[in-house]
Amino acid sequence: MSKDAEVDMKEVELNEMDPEKQPMTADGQSGGEKNGTVMLKVPEEEVTFTGLSKEELMKVAGTPGWVRTRWVLLVLFWLGWVGMLAGAVAIIVQAPRCKPIPDMNWWNEGPLYQVNDVNAFSPNGMKELDEKLESVNNLKVKGLVLGPMHTVQANQAVTLNMQEINPTHGTQEELMNVLEKAHKKGISVVLDLTPNYLGGDAWFSTGDVPDVLEKLAAAADFWLNLGIDGIKVSDVNVAASSLYWSKLKNVFNRTEETKKRALLGVVKGLSAVEVHELVNTTGVDLVLSDLLSAKATGVDRAQDLDSLHSIQRNIGWGLGAASQDQMSKLAGTPALMRLNQLLLFTLPGTPVFTYGDEIGLQAEGAGSPMMVWDIEKEPTEGQAVNETVEAERKERLAVRKWFNSLSELRGKERSLLYGEYSLLQSSPTTLAYLRLWDQSERYITAVNWGSEPATITLTAPAGVELPETGKVKLSSDPELKADASVSLEKITLGPGSGVLLQFPYPG
């Protein structure tokens, strides 16, 4: 049979139906099933590769060619490893070294928030103060300053008891509850123990200072042992000159504690030079002065900043805070509120605010204004809306948003947190300065609190080079939009406005 015939026969056999599927009947016709031939495909014999045996490998491995190859590969491996190590060392050596972070205390890490009148701040005083801590925490506040709340009658030193809270303000138990919840949120608590806070002279009279200091030292020791994080006193310069001052200062020399307790002092009417001397001679951890309130021009403020920036971690800045007044009392307009908030958050020091400053709360009269809550609540649909009240609510929301943006930025940007300060320009109505730290982003603050537009020409200090342009990070001037690129040679600001500019590390 020919090969073609054999192929045809195989195709016929393969195309036939499976015998089990063929119909088979009794007479062999279709409709039944029948047995048939099954074609099986026998797999071809598989060939497996077994490789060389151990004896064969050992025999080959000892040949001169393989020995040389192994040595070449080994030498190449170690040369490559040493080369990578040398390259890494060269990169580390040539890279600019990071400047060491300065020692920081908790009061340097964020703003301080004063609640001098707990009954005005919280609807039910100390009893519900802990419920307001979340709102305070959202402001990125690091310290809550409470009081004064101790027992005393105005100008009556014999009634002074700084270890007891006046029942009109609350109880010690309620204070401890506030302290516990504040600590859980990372907020430190400071008590204002200004002795004669209801009278005219903070220390009653010169003759009372020694006895009052002794009581203050005992009270400070009492509250610090209960977990309070610091003590604040007003007119600290009056008491610091007393021979009994060391009794109070010794209370804070607790070397066994991991968290430093703060002694905060308030002074009014002192020059920048006198404030500098006070910090160096008294050991006060943070001095809050009224320099920003007393000095109205950019030239004067620039001189004070130059005098104090070397001790910036001991300086607290506020506008009205030294007298526990709201910022609005001195700033006046919402625009100037934003400008001064920008100033406080970017100055080389600790910003100090009084409750309500974050929403532009207006202080009316001599008493403490009632804090306004629920400003997020919008009028219900169909409800009659007082347009003046609604505009005021929206303005408070806008001021708080501005405040939050500045507070968050200061907490995470090293140049703003503990960077160096350099004056770029000053005039009676304007001020501009640079904040920079090592290889971090640089920031320029420029403000114009005048009633007319102003053009600010920036002059870089020696050793600092400004780029041609910077990016607008925050601005209260409607003409300077966020993320816009502006020239750093000259900046034009509208009346009562400020801008925060950013540019990268040039290296």
**Per-residue pLDDT at 80 exceeds 70:** yes
Specify the pTM.
Answer: 0.81
Cα 146 from Cα 175, distance rounded (Å): 10
- Mean pLDDT lowest among 8-12, 209-213, 287-291, 328-332: 8-12
Q: How far is CA 394 from CA 375, 379, 400, 496, 497, in A?
A: 8, 12, 10, 20, 19
Q: Domain residue spans in the chain?
A: 1-45, 67-96, 106-412, 421-503
CATH 3.20.20.80 fits 106-412, yes or no: yes
Amino acid letter for position 440: S
Average model confidence (pLDDT) across the chain: 88
* Per-residue confidence (pLDDT) for residue 151, from 0 to 100: 97
Superfamily of domain 421-503: Golgi alpha-mannosidase II (2.60.40.1180)
**Residue pLDDT, tens place only, 158-205:** 999 999 999 999 999 999 999 999 999 999 999 999 999 999 999 999
Question: CB within 8 A of 385, min separation 6: which ones?
Answer: 379
CB 405 within 8 A of CB 500: no
Highest mean pLDDT among 215-219, 306-310, 459-463, 464-468: 215-219
Q: If pLDDT is split at 50, 70 and 90, which confidence band does 20 have?
A: very low
Reduced DSSP (H G I as helix, E B as strand, rest coil) percent helix, strand, coil of the chain, to 5: 40, 20, 40
**DSSP β-ladder status, 454-457 and 315-317:** unpaired
What end-to-end distance do the CA atoms of the chain give, in Å? 91
* Per-residue confidence (pLDDT) for residue 386, from 0 to 100: 87
* Per-residue confidence (pLDDT) for residue 31, from 0 to 100: 45
Question: CB within 8 A of 480, min separation 6: which ones?
Answer: 472, 486, 493, 499
* Per-residue confidence (pLDDT) for residue 34, from 0 to 100: 45
328/38: higher pLDDT: 328
Q: Dig out the tokens for 64 from the structure.
A: 């001169």
Cα 94 from Cα 351, distance rounded (Å): 38
Q: If pLDDT is split at 50, 70 and 90, which confidence band does 467 have?
A: very high
Segment holding 479, helix H or strand E: none
Q: If pLDDT is split at 50, 70 and 90, which confidence band does 476 have?
A: very high
Q: Helix/strand/coil (H, E, C) string of 349-361?
A: CEEEEECCHHHCC
* Per-residue confidence (pLDDT) for residue 19, from 0 to 100: 47
